[in-house]
Structure 1
């Protein structure tokens, strides 16, 4: 009788641990959203009011993953530049297209920025010229996505770290 109780206790303990692990590891992630609001993609933020610029009220932004680019010269890596880029689009179909083509877009950004930053064309006195970078990113975005998909490229974070 004692062996049966021990075996039953061990079985309950293992079953409870297995069920707990199942619910912990295999349950879908749920974000904490206030009641009455719909959750959305964390990379797309709707703009409630737009202060002009002719982009319309329905503009949304698709935030890309951060780009981290080393600046290399004859002595090796001299600094690291981090960029966080968001693409302004007019509607949901354009946002979906940006999300779909984001790997290609990031690849084009990295290829162009490596060349520009390493040749020091976008640096003036060791400081990044944000307006030059933004113009280049806008032209690359238009080439990759097409002329009427993206309205603007926003640089949310530009950070330089000397090494």
Structure 2
């Protein structure tokens, strides 16, 4: 049985610990649903001030909700729409301090105020996005972006 240890130290140190825990949790399991479910649960319970955390997978046409933690979510998101669709098309992590100021934001959970979306690619192939919401304005900073990108990379590597 996997047991997550409490995170300690600075924010970069906490993400480093979380990445190590994620590697241990996903080691040897190539199934994307199993790994997305476990990574969502691990990160959701480890990170403070987060109200939704999970995955949207690209089905060849649009993003479709995958495993997550939080309230029920939007099921389908068109490429280029909202923060998730923008991250997928731009191939760049989107950090949004105030989702209501983001043009075309899709409000799945009315409590969400800030968001980070990390696009997931294997080479040129779009896998989907890793989406993290918070009820706090400007909850995420550059350390969070780097840490969440590292967690997303652990997920992508687990699929190889």
TM-score of the alignment, normalized to the shorter chain, above 0.5: no
Give the TM-score taking structure 1 as reference length.
Answer: 0.27
Give the TM-score taking structure 2 as reference length.
Answer: 0.28
